[in-house]
Structure 1
Amino acid sequence: MKVVADTPPARLEQLIAAVGAAVSAQDTIALDRWPLSAHAKNITAELVARWRATSVTPAELAGILVGAARAYHDAKAEQELELVWTGPAGPSIATRRTDQALLEVIDAATGRLFVTSFVAYKVPSIVRAFEEAVRRGVRLSMLLEPAESVGGNISIDVIGKMKAALPGARILTWINKEPKFVGGSVHAKIAVADETICFVSSANLTGHAMERNMEAGILIKGGNIPIDLQRHLEALEAANVIALT
């Protein structure tokens, strides 16, 4: 529910109290004093409009908002974020390297694994993890940038190399570009598994990125981001924006 996601907890408690104090959905004077901003006014107006289309009482709507708030904040609390860093070590925080985070996502996959990268080569430990994922029945999809010889923006044939190294993988490329994207590249560096865990990083799938470059990323477990990210990538394939090579 948008009103829950867009409202700070203390203000939401005030809104719930105002809803509970309303006479009915048609008489919501108690809500007039709640909004403090234009955005809050829009949220309130949308809430009241939807409420008036139902037979829900003020007490029932207040209870619904309480339940929605609890569910939303519980779900947010379940999400775990971890900084991932490859490069010179810092004095204040200890982080895992890029290859360690990527391997965790690959190893966690049981059904679907979607990976994107501009380039991919000389990463034997990662390729072995991909091979193991395919052996245990994971549907591995990889979106990569094609070579210049076939209209891409990279000098080497990464797609050909990955097809040879991972015959069980589904290799995709960005084939249907809107005019504003013509000349653009697959520059996202993402790994997402089963809508439950994802790694978003600056690192390509290369040996230098895993071991020598200065790279940063975020490992995300739980919450909506892995769900939204995996569904978005799969929707791009369903819409034929990206396709198997």
Structure 2
Amino acid sequence: MNFCFTKLSTRDLESLAAALRSGRLPAPFNPTMVRQYVSTAQAEETVAALSGLHEEGFSPPQIARLIEASHAERSARMRPDEIIDLVTSGPDAPGATNRDTGVVVSQLFSKARQSVLVAGYAVYQGDRVFSALADRMRANESLDVKFYLDIRRRDKDTTESSILVWRFMQRLLNEQWPEDCRLPEVYYDPRSLHLNKRSSLHAKCIVVDKEIAFVSSANFTNAGQERNIEVGTLLRTPIIARQLASHFEKLRERGFLLRADPPRS
């Protein structure tokens, strides 16, 4: 394996291999294209390595296989503490080295390159909680962002379901979402609006680029991210991240989750 690739982070290796395999990164290679998938500091050296392999007769999919083999070897050597982080909210326990929920969520959003999945039960002060995500969406117009949120019917409320969805989306746009940024696609569980035997979309998780997953007890509220005692796990395991993203995709494809129409201006 070219020495350059050993310098790349696990995430960069995964992004580079996926881009080569999918055709998003064709030859001839140049720094502008490569910087979309690896850190700027490693872009020039990565271009040289990719170009050298291509000149030796390797096609982009074949280079992807080489990189994936390197990644698999590295993953086999990774310690559990390099893959999993404990993430908490609330008071700091003496001697604890846990990562802070609000910081982790902001960092995940700010590093997204291709896609972000957010599933949450409650959103409050979302303009603050999602500010890093909105910044990333403004900087990257092609970033695919999907929200899976709980739209609730209160007890004894017999309002038509479509009206409850419209009201929810109006509040999200006008009160819970940063200004001057497009809304993500929003999906909900229609069973949460049934008059009887209602269910809830109670999951709280984030998946970024189908490479990193964060699963937590914390809602997407300022209290949940900073003040409440909450516990979560950050998983740098693409297999789990892809499985989690696929779970929501299949629920959506099979009609268990419906898209909430965006408010009309």
Does the Cα contact within 8 Å between 1:197 and 1:219 map onto a contact in 2?
Answer: yes
- In structure 2, what is the Cα distance between the partners aligned to 1:96 and 1:151? 40
Cα distance per residue 1:20-54 (max 9 Å; x no partner): xxxxxxxxxxxxxxxxxxxxxxxxxxxxxxxxxxx
Does the Cα contact within 8 Å between 1:134 and 1:169 map onto a contact in 2?
Answer: no
- In structure 2, what is the Cα distance between the partners aligned to 1:175 and 1:217? 27
Match of residue 142, structure 1, among 140, 147, 160: 147
Mark the runs of 5 or more structure 1 residues left unpaired by the alignment.
1-70
Over the residues paired in the alignment, what is the CA RMSD in angstroms?
A: 3.1
Residue 224 of structure 1 aligns to a residue whose secondary structure is: helix
Letter in 2 for 1:77: M
**Distance verdict in 2 for CA 1:176–1:239, change over 3 Å:** farther
Partner of 2:252: 237
Does the Cα contact within 8 Å between 2:119 and 2:203 map onto a contact in 1?
Answer: yes
Does the Cα contact within 8 Å between 2:129 and 2:221 map onto a contact in 1?
Answer: no
Q: Within the alignment, does 1:81 sit opposite 2:84 as a pair?
A: yes
Partner of 1:186: 201
Structure 1 segment 73-222 matched on structure 2, within 5 A: 74=75, 77=78, 80-135=83-138, 136-137=140-141, 138-148=143-153, 149=159, 158-164=168-174, 165=177, 167-175=182-190, 182-222=197-237
Instruction: Compute the displacement of 1:92 (Å).
Output: 2.7
**Distance verdict in 2 for CA 1:96–1:163, change over 3 Å:** same
Cα distance per residue 1:40-95 (max 9 Å; x no partner): xxxxxxxxxxxxxxxxxxxxxxxxxxxxxxx5994583861000011121123212
Larger radius of gyration: 1
Instruction: Compute the displacement of 1:158 (Å).
Output: 4.8
Which shows bigger deviation, 108-117 or 85-94? 85-94
- In structure 2, what is the Cα distance between the partners aligned to 1:102 and 1:142? 14
Instruction: Compute the displacement of 1:128 (Å).
Output: 1.5
Letter in 1 for 2:151: P
Identity %: 24
Instruction: Compute the displacement of 1:150 (Å).
Output: 5.4
Runs of 4+ aligned residues of structure 1 deviating over 6 Å after TM superposition are none
Mark the runs of 5 or more structure 2 residues left unpaired by the alignment.
1-71, 154-158, 261-265
Name the TM-score, length of structure 1 as normaliser.
0.61
Structure 1 segment 4-19 matched on structure 2, within 5 A: none
- In structure 1, what is the Cα distance between the partners aligned to 2:148 and 2:117? 8
Aligned residues: 172
